[in-house]
Every structure is written in structure tokens, then in C-alpha cells.
Amino acid sequence: MATTDQKYRLITLPNETLRKPSRKIGLISAEVKSVVNAMQQTTIDWEDSREHEVGVALAAVQLGQLMRIVIIRNNINEKEDRSFSVFINPVITKYEGNQEVDFEGCLSIQSIYGKVPRYQKVRVKAIGLNGREFRVTVDGFLARTFQHEIDHTNGKLFIDYIKDDPDAFYQLMPDGKLEKLDYEKDIEKSRILW
């Protein structure tokens, strides 16, 4: 069930830790492995508490841990597959293709979705839990996911890209549909988001 260790609790805006850059990891320690386990469990627990959302990925900073760690679900189209890949010190080495606008949400920004421009394809290098460097090239939704999560390690959130776009913000409704938010009332002067 839920992660009981309070130091690994999911944090949400307006928590200022989400705006801080994470530190590079030099050693794959027991602490790093503990954070990874907590990240996986927290993502699954969050998903289990939602009727219309899937936990696709998480960055360590979202548990208040300023470490450059990202986990991404192995099969984003299969909710029953609850396994994740681990990316330590992930870096995008190349952006490819045009930018496309699509919806994004975030476990640390409750119920708000946004239409965010992202590159169609990215090349990423990272270190695995075994300490070895590896590289992946991904496109489509997975490329969007990598860009979103690696932004987290740099203290950047998806809402930062669309802060001045009054047509980009939506709220997830109880029926699972997205409804456009009133920018002036709900977004522009929000003390939670900014």
C-alpha cells in the first residue's frame, strides 16, 4: 500500500522544492535504490487512487529528493504492467523533429492539464541502476514523457512553458473529461501554481 516513510511523500505545488534543480548522482548507493523503490510504489499508489489517470513516470524531486533520478513505465499502454525503467542522471543529447502540442498532466500539479509544445523525438543518455551508461532514442508520447521528467530534474514544470497562454489550461473532471479553465480566474494569479 502507501509508502509510510514520510521523507518519501509525494509533494505538490506550491512546494518550492519542485522549482529546485536536482544534484547529479555519483554513486548508486542503498539510498538511491531506496528512493527508486519509493518512486515506483508512490506512482502505483497514486494511480490506484485515480479512476481516470495512469502513473506513467516520476522524478525523485517529486518525493522531495533532489537527485537526478527518473522512472518511466515500461509499457505505457498496458496499465497492468507495473514495471518501470530507471534513468539516473538523464540528459537529452539531441532534440529532433518539429514541436507538437499535446496534453500533459503531472502528479505534482493536481487535476490541471495543459497543452504543451514538445519535440517529437529525443535522444537520451543515462545511467542504469547497474552503474552503466546507456542511450535511448524515443519518439511520440515517450519523447514527451522524457522531456517532462528531465525538466523536473532541472526545476522546471510543464506549466512554465504555457504560463502566458490563456487557451492552454484544462481541468480533469470527475467523469474523466478535460474542461477548459478560466485563465484569469483559475490560472493567471494562482498562488498555488506560481
Is CATH 3.40.50.1010 the right assignment for the domain spanning 6-188?
no
Q: For residue 138, which of 95, 179, 174 has the smallest C-alpha distance?
A: 95
pTM of this structure: 0.94
**pLDDT tens sequence across 129-158:** 999 999 999 999 999 999 999 999 999 999
Q: Report, as residue numbers or ranges, the catalytic residues.
A: 149
pLDDT band at 2 (very low <50, low <70, confident <90, very high): very low
Query: For position 7, what pLDDT does the model report?
Result: 73
Query: For position 41, what pLDDT does the model report?
Result: 95
Question: Is the predicted pLDDT of residue 3 greater than 60, yes or no?
Answer: no
> Which grid cell is 161?
512553458
Query: For position 6, what pLDDT does the model report?
Result: 61
pLDDT band at 79 (very low <50, low <70, confident <90, very high): confident
Instruction: Map the chain to HEC letters.
Output: CCCCCHHHCCCCCCCHHHHCCCECCCCCCHHHHHHHHHHHHHHHHHHHCCCCCCCCEEEHHHHCCCECEEEEECCCCCCCCCCEEEEEEEEEEEEEEEEEEEEEEECCEEEEEEEEEEEEEEEEEEECCCCCEEEEEEEHHHHHHHHHHHHHHCCCCHHHHCCCCCCCEEEECCCCCEEECCHHHHHHCCCCCC
